[in-house]
Amino acid sequence: MLEISNIEAAYGGVKALSGVSLLVKPGEFVSVVGPNGAGKTTLFKVIAGTVPNKAGQIRFGGRDLGRVPPHERPHLGIAHVPEGRQVFPNLTVEENLQMGAYTKAGRRDWKENFDYIVNLFPILKERRKQQAGTLSGGQQQMLAIGRGLASSPKLLMLDEPSMGLAPTVADSIFEAVVDIRAAKNVSVLLVEQRAVEALESCDRGYVIETGRVVLEGKQSELLSDDRVRQAYLGM
What are the sequence ranges of the domains in the chain? 1-74+155-160+187-235, 78-153
**Can you spell out the DSSP letters for 44-104?**
HHHHHTSS--SEEEEEETTEEGGGS-GGGHHHHTEEEE-TT----TTSBHHHHHHHHTTSH
The highest-level CATH class for domain 1-74+155-160+187-235 is alpha beta
Rounded mean pLDDT of the chain? 93
pTM value is 0.93
| pLDDT for position 235 | 58
Question: pLDDT of 157-177, one tens digit each?
Answer: 999 999 889 999 999 999 999
Percent of the chain residues past pLDDT 70, beyond the cut? 99
Q: Which of helix, strand or coil describes residue 34?
A: coil
Chain centroid to CA 61: how far? 17
Q: H or E stretch including 15? A: strand 14-24
Asked whether 205 and 211 are in contact (CB, 8 A), the reply is no
pLDDT at 232 over 90: no
| pLDDT for position 60 | 97
Question: pLDDT of 70-92, one tens digit each?
Answer: 999 999 999 999 988 899 999 99
Strand bridging mode 204-209 / 212-218: antiparallel
Radius of gyration over every alpha carbon of the chain, rounded to an integer in angstroms: 17
